[in-house]
Amino acid sequence: MILILGKNGYVSKRFQDFFNVKKMDFVCESLRGAPQYINILLQKHKPRYVINCIGYTGVPNIDECENNKEECLRVNSIIPAVVATACKEFGIKFLHVGTGCIYQDYGSGEYPTMFSEKETPNFCFGYNNCSWYSGTKELAETMISGVCKEYYIMRLRMPFSHVSNPKNYLSKLLKYKKIWSRNNSITNLDEFVNVCYLSLEQGIPYGIYNVVNPQPICAQDILEIAKKFGLENECEIIKDSEVMKTITQSPRSDCTLSTNKLKECNLELIPTRESVSRCFGYWEKEGNPFWL
Ligand SMILES: NC(=O)c1ccc[n+]([C@@H]2O[C@H](COP(=O)([O-])OP(=O)(O)OC[C@H]3O[C@@H](n4cnc5c(N)ncnc54)[C@H](OP(=O)(O)O)[C@@H]3O)[C@@H](O)[C@H]2O)c1
């Protein structure tokens, strides 16, 4: 039995689709009350592993986290730490969905151009430069790694897939009136789910993993690929970071993440351009192309 935490979320739903296709035993639970309820859930389901898809992501976007800081902190940092502690007590593997948006490439040469998991996050509370959302997600990493050893923190970044959704990065780019176009690491959500599953099943070394497609890509290039598949968005491209700051309430992270650690476990995702092309090729087609 696999326990997925968070029932109706974007990422949780994709894990559910995946396990349904695989015909694997899983159960999904919400954790809306006291987080200590996790102990009862672990006793009841006796899962082989727990996948935490709970997160406060803000509606319509992470800017909203700035207006509800206490709840965002509770959901993104405290709940993961409580769940990690419970998993440790019950001897259950714990996989937490993290984010890659805890790094910032200022292009100044001060930081590496590609961040590996060994790099200390630099877009977080300690640097006083981040969104509240990113701060709480980075804090979760510190707390989980402080309370348990048998954990995976899988960093997802700007998820995309062939299924249109307000949370799908490709859907967003097809809709925005203005786009910010800098090179960034992004993650095919279907590949992410598959890699999380394989990590748990194969028992790769515990720890933190950047789970992004190799090679960064910019929004403008993604729209060029979309055009080849008949999907167009005539939008304004913003190049000036000062202008960008006036569009969003909270700062956004731009960064490229290294995938070497995952590659060493033979779990690489497919190159970004190819993955994006496949998604536009399958755009909104029925069924689950689990081509991975
Ligand atoms: N989407 C992205 O762009 C993205 C990128 C990187 C990382 N992530 C991470 O991926 C995880 C899932 O994100 P998502 O996009 O699937 O988010 P989502 O669609 O907003 O879903 C969030 C989930 O969190 C649970 N939740 C929200 N508020 C809660 C609260 N107050 N108490 C308890 N549970 C609460 C909900 O559970 P119920 O459905 O059971 O009510 C829901 O399933 C998050 O940790 C997020 O930080 C997301």
CA 160, 2, 57, 85 dihedral sign is negative
Three-class SS string for the chain?
A: CEEEECCCCHHHHHHHHHHHHCCCCEEEECCCCCHHHHHHHHHHHCCCEEEECCCCCCCCCHHHHHHCHHHHHHHHHHHHHHHHHHHHHHCCEEEEEEECCCCCCCCCCCCCCCECCCCCCCCCHHHCCCCHHHHHHHHHHHHHHHHCCCEEEEEECCEECCCCCCCCHHHHHHHCCEEECCCECCEEHHHHHHHHHHHHHHCCCCEEEECCCCCCECHHHHHHHHHHCCCCCCCEEECCHHHHHHHCCCCCCCCCECCHHHHHCCCCCCCHHHHHHHHHHCCCCCCCCCCC
The predicted pLDDT at position 141 comes to 98
Tell me, yes or no, if the pTM score tops 0.85. yes
| Cβ(55) – ligand 1 distance below 6 Å | yes
Residue 267, amino acid: L
Using CA positions, which residue lies closest to atom 28 of ligand 1?
A: 56
What pLDDT sits at residue 288? 59
pLDDT of residue 131: 95
From ligand 1's centre to the CA of 229, what distance in Å? Answer: 31
pLDDT of amino acid 106: 80
**Is residue 188 pLDDT above 70, yes or no?**
yes
pLDDT at position 113 = 81
pLDDT band at 238 (very low <50, low <70, confident <90, very high): confident
Least reliable range by pLDDT among 86-90, 184-188, 237-241 = 237-241
Residue nearest to atom 8 of ligand 1 (CA): 99
**Mean pLDDT on 281-291:** 72
Q: Is 169 in the pocket of ligand 1 (CB under 6 A)?
A: no
**Whole-number pLDDT of residue 290:** 55
Q: Report the 10 Å Cβ neighbour count for 5.
A: 25
133 CA from centroid of ligand 1 (Å): 12
Residue 155: band (very low, low, confident or very high) from pLDDT cuts 50, 70, 90: very high
Question: Residues 154-176: what's their mean pLDDT?
Answer: 96
Distance 199 CA to ligand 1 centre (A): 21
Gap from CA of 167 to ligand 1 centroid (Å): 11
Mean pLDDT of all residues in 261-286: 94
Listed residue (107, 104, 85) closest to 96, CA to CA:
85
Distance 156 CA to ligand 1 centre (A): 12
Give the per-residue pLDDT at 292: 47
pLDDT of residue 94: 98
Q: Which residue lies with its CA nearest to atom 1 of ligand 1?
A: 167
| CB distance 59 to ligand 1 below 6 Å | no
Triad 100, 205, 268: Cα angle to 5°: 55
Mean of pLDDT values over 98-105: 96
Backbone angles phi and psi of 191, in degrees to 5: -65, -35
Query: Is 156's C-beta closer than 6 angstroms to any atom of ligand 1?
Result: yes
How far CA 68 is from CA of 57, 72, 73, 249, 278, in Å, comes to: 11, 6, 9, 13, 37
Taking only the tens place, the pLDDT of each residue in 41-71 is: 999 999 999 999 999 999 999 999 999 999 9
Q: Is the CB of 22 under 6 A from ligand 1?
A: no
Cβ of 41 closer than 6 Å to ligand 1, yes or no, is no
How far, in Å, CA of 98 to CA of 196, rounded?
12
* Residue spans per domain, the chain: 2-281
Q: Which fold has domain 2-281?
A: Rossmann fold (3.40.50)
Name the closest-CA residue to atom 21, ligand 1.
9
CA of 79 to the centre of ligand 1 (A): 12
